[in-house]
Amino acid sequence: MKAAAAFEPVTAGSMASAAVLEPVAYPTFDDALARHGAEIYRYALHLTRNRPDADDLYQETALKAYRAWDRLPCDANHRAWLYRIATNTFLSDKRKTSRLRSLDASITAESIPATSQDNDGRLDAGTLLREVEAFIVDLPPKQRAAFVQRKYLDMNYQEIAAALGSSEAAARRSVHEALRKLRDRFGDRI
């Protein structure tokens, strides 16, 4: 007879004590892009170092995110997800262009000799900045992405790992290697 009690009609008095569940409003794709779009564009600009390529990377990221939006869990971290799409798109494009580039034209960051310090001890900051920017562009794509996220966007290693699709230790290693190469190349000039 106890089982029948589960099917008793609900009265107004019992409704007052029952918790009322409101539907949860999840963000739409437009909401997520409006909230994180400017940040993702700045990231694309840091990675590509020029506006036309940043525009292309941002557009590809937005298009891929739009196509995958329905497969994304409702409670997902949209910011990390968009960073990951942007990073993967950048890395894929870098791999594609490196396969297309001839071996004669490829120059690695390690093959560029360090310039000696000038005799006066004075440093042209503009020249140094351009050299550092060119050096960062030539870093391996994963190191470059990790370095930009850490130093330019002030992301923590957990966020970098989520964006790169790697472990936190791998994100730390990528940033560390980029910094080591930067110090080796520029020494005490920076």
pLDDT digits (tens, 9 = 90+) for 165-185: 999 999 999 999 999 998 888
User: What is the reported pLDDT for 4?
Assistant: 42
Per-residue pLDDT tens for 51-88? 999 999 999 999 999 999 999 998 889 999 999 999 99
Within 8 A by CB and 6+ apart from 137, the residues are: 49, 144
User: What pLDDT, on a 0 to 100 scale, did the predictor assign at position 16?
Assistant: 52
Could you count the other beta carbons within 10 Å of the beta carbon of residue 115? 13
Looking at residue 115, its amino acid is T
Domain boundary among 104, 136, 161: 104
Mark whether 133 and 166 lie in a shared domain. yes
Domains in the chain, number: 2
| 2 C-beta neighbours (distance < 10 Å), count | 5
Q: Is the pTM of this model over 0.85?
A: no
Range from 2-11, 16-25, 45-54, 142-151 carrying the lowest mean pLDDT: 2-11
Output the pLDDT for position 137.
86
Residue 119 has pLDDT above 50, yes or no: no
DSSP assignment of 124-176 equals -HHHHHHHHHHHHHTS-HHHHHHHIIIIIS---HHHHHHHHTS-HHHHHHHHH
pLDDT of residue 1: 41
Q: Is residue 98 part of a domain?
A: yes
Domain's final residue, options 70, 104, 138: 104
Domain end (from 59, 76, 104) = 104
Is residue 102 over pLDDT 70? no
Q: Are residues 96 and 129 in the same domain?
A: no
Confidence (pLDDT) at 37: 95
Residue 155 forms part of a structural domain: yes
Rounded percentage of the chain residues whose pLDDT exceeds 70: 73
Taking alpha carbons only, the member of 89, 38, 34, 88 closest to residue 60 is 89
Mean per-residue pLDDT over the chain, rounded = 80
The boundaries of the domain holding residue 170 are 107-112+122-190
* Contact residues for 61 (Cβ-Cβ < 8 A; gap 6+): 40, 44, 82, 85, 86, 89
Instruction: Say yes or no: 82 and 131 in one domain.
Output: no
**Position 12 in a domain:** no
Q: Rounded CA gap, 166 and 67, in Å?
A: 23
The rounded distance, in Å, linking the Cα atoms of 56 and 48 is 10
| pLDDT on residue 41 | 96
The per-residue pLDDT for 187 is 79
Instruction: Indicate whether 1 belongs to any domain.
Output: no
CB 174, CB 142: distance < 8 Å: yes
